[in-house]
Structure 1
Amino acid sequence: MVPLFISTPELFFVLFVAVLLFGTDKIPEIARTLGKGMRQLRDATSEIKNEINKSVEKAGVDTSLIDEVKEEVEKAKEGLEDPFGSIKRNK
C-alpha cells in the first residue's frame, strides 16, 4: 500500500530530495521527531475520546441510539463504496 496515492518512483524522488536537503545524518532525527509528534496526537485524540465517553456515562445518556445510527451509516457507506456493483453483476 502506497500512502497518499504516491507512486513508487515519486516516493523515491521525495526521499532523494529529502536526503539532498537534510543529509543522511538528519533524516533519522526528523523521522523520530515526526513519530513522537504523531504519537502525541494519537494519545491526545484517545484522551479526548475517553473524556467524552466518561462524560456520557456520567450523564446517563442512552448510547443505544448512537449504535443504531452507526449501523445505519455503515449500511449507507457500503452502498456508496461500490455504486456500480449491481450493474457489473448483472452483465
Structure 2
Amino acid sequence: MILKKFYEEVQRAHSGRLAEWRTLYEKAAGVETKQAVLQADIAETLRRQKELRAQLADLVALASSLSATAKRADLSAEIPKVQETVGRMLRDLHMAAY
C-alpha cells in the first residue's frame, strides 16, 4: 500500500514536470515562430528600403535633368514647378518608406 502511494506520487510529480516541459517547449516554439516572422519583416523592409533609395536617386537625377533642361530652354519660370513636383514626390516617397 505504501509502495502504491509512493508510485502514485512519483507519477503525479512526473506528469507535472512533463506538463511544465511541454509548456516551455511550446513557448520556445512560439518565440522561434515570432523570430522567423520578424526576420522576414526585416528582410522585406530592407528590400523595400533599397527600392525606395533607387527611386529617390532616379527622382534626384530627374529633377537635375529637368532643371538643366528648363534653364537651357530659358524656362526659368518652370523651375519652381519642377522643384515643387519633385519635392512632393520625395515627401510621398518618404512617407511610403514609413
Band the TM-score falls in, shorter-chain normalisation:
0.3 to 0.5
Structure of greater relative contact order (alpha carbons < 8 Å, 6+ residues apart): 2
Greater Rg by CA:
2
Richer in helix (by share): 2
